[in-house]
């Protein structure tokens, strides 16, 4: 497979031979599912917390005597049956992270990139750099590349001008080749790679 390489003005700058082995059929589908589920789980704060009977404020005094009042038996103001009482089996702070091994993560990223490449959603730019940190310059770049909808811009390193210019553009995210993950690949409508960043991702996935 070959990809057309564009300049930041949108003109053709040649072609790039894709070295990444394209995954066909249903291979890697389960890996993608597992990695995305793990990614979403890891984003959970896990700070939800309720108080048990032993933690809520209140006296241990028996509200009324056991017999003779005509009312139901009650032993504590902190009972879960009472308003303001403890919570039974309520949430406590916990870690939601799920373990996914390196080979599965590699396979999932290769599968996700393969599908985006086959769909024609990947754009490669020869040199993804801006002369100034101006938002209008970044928007002009997207328009020249005919990028519509959501987009993920992948550079080889953190470029300060690109970072500052893109942060006020809605539905456009910026990452580096080293931080690229399966969820990032699946999320946007288009993927815009710097040529060097795409080659770094290929090298990273070739280590599988």
pTM (two decimals): 0.83
Average pLDDT per run of 10 along the chain, which is 208 residues long? 88 88 89 97 96 93 95 95 95 96 95 94 91 92 92 92 92 94 95 94 82
Q: What are phi and psi of 190, to 5 degrees?
A: -135, 150
CATH architecture label of 2-44+99-205: 3-Layer(aba) Sandwich (3.40)
Q: Where are the alpha helices (DSSP H) in 145-192?
A: 160-166, 182-186
Upper half-sphere CA count for residue 126 (Cβ side, 13 Å): 12
- Both tokens of 202, joined, read 């290929």
**Residue 143: its pLDDT value, please?**
93
Which segments of the chain belong to CATH 3.40.1370.10? 2-44+99-205
The predicted structure's pLDDT at residue 10: 86
What is the per-residue burial (b if ≥16 Cβ within 10 Å, else e) of 23-42? beeeebeebbebbbebbeee
């Amino acid at each position: 497979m070959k990809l057309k390489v564009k300049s930041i003005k949108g003109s053709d700058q040649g072609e790039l031979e894709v070295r990444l082995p394209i995954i066909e059929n249903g291979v890697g589908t389960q890996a993608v599912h597992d990695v995305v589920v793990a990614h979403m789980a890891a984003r959970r704060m896990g700070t939800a917390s309720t108080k048990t009977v032993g933690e809520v404020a209140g006296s241990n005094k028996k509200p009324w005597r056991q017999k003779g009042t005509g009312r139901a038996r009650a032993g504590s103001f902190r009972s879960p049956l009472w308003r303001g009482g403890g919570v039974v089996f309520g949430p406590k702070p916990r870690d939601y992270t799920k373990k996914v091994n390196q080979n599965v993560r590699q396979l999932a990223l290769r599968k996700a990139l393969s599908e985006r490449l086959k769909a024609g959603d990947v754009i490669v730019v020869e040199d993804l750099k801006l002369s100034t940190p101006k938002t209008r310059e970044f928007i002009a770049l997207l328009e020249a590349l005919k990028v519509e909808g959501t987009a993920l811009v992948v550079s080889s390193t953190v470029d300060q001008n690109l970072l500052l210019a893109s942060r006020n553009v809605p539905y456009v995210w910026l990452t580096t080749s080293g931080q690229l993950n399966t969820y990032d690949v699946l999320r946007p409508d288009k993927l815009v790679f710097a040529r060097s960043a795409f080659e770094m991702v290929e090298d990273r996935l070739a280590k599988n």
